[in-house]
Chains A and B, each alone.
Chain A
């Protein structure tokens, strides 16, 4: 059974700092990996999607990397802003069954 773990569970940083969120998964038979953002009382918004054959994806200040063989992904946020405060969720899509398996998320707070 696939298990997705996110570290740290919570993170508080001053504005302007660069930060890294970590995601690990136990079964490397994944189709892709996705990072989502969830604001309080809101649904999930997709940030970046990395196919299993790719190593990284970038969007603005966000960069996500994937090391499929070691079961790890990182989300790098450059020059953090208070508006980045949210919960960040990592999810892997399995090769079999098309199922998305989520981690528990990292709660990020960027202080102004």
Chain B
């Protein structure tokens, strides 16, 4: 069975440019998560989806970050405009439901120059 798929794996952009990350969760998983992981730190939740609905986006910087999960399957996370401090690894995870074990993708490593 395929795991959580993320693309791209690496992205280098200049500050003030837009960037988007894509996540395809495990088939049948209703809950999808986006995490931010800074170097030397644990992941921090940005947003959690239950099907199409964003049920916890309290940590998402809404002035520059946006996310969507159309049709309750794939999800995209966008940053516009990117800042130097956004350089980090962006992890996507999915689970059957919000109480079940989360399965993580390999992440997208973003470098903002």
Q: Number of A-B pairs whose CB atoms are under 8 Å?
A: 48
Cβ–Cβ < 8 Å partners of B104 in chain A: 36, 43-45
Interface residues of B (CB under 8 A from A): 4, 40-45, 48, 56, 91, 93, 98-99, 101-107, 109
Question: In the complex, which residues of chain A have a beta carbon less than 8 angstroms from the beta carbon of B48?
Answer: 98
How many Å lie between the Cα of A103 and that of B57 in the bound state?
A: 20
Whether A102 contacts B44 in the complex (CB less than 8 A), given A42-B106, A43-B91, A43-B106, comes out as yes
Scan A1-44; emit 1 where CB is below 8 A from any B CB, else 0. 00010000000000000000000000000010010100001111
On whether A44 and B43 interact (CB within 8 A), knowing A97-B56, A99-B56, the answer reads: yes
- When the two chains form their complex, are residues B45 and A99 in contact, meaning their CB atoms are under 8 A apart? yes
**Any chain B CB within 8 A of the CB of A49?**
yes
Cβ-defined partner of A100 (8 Å) among B41, B45, B107: B45
Bound form: Cα–Cα A34–B91 in Å: 17
- A43-B107 contact in complex given A97-B56, A98-B98, A100-B102, C-beta closer than 8 Å: yes
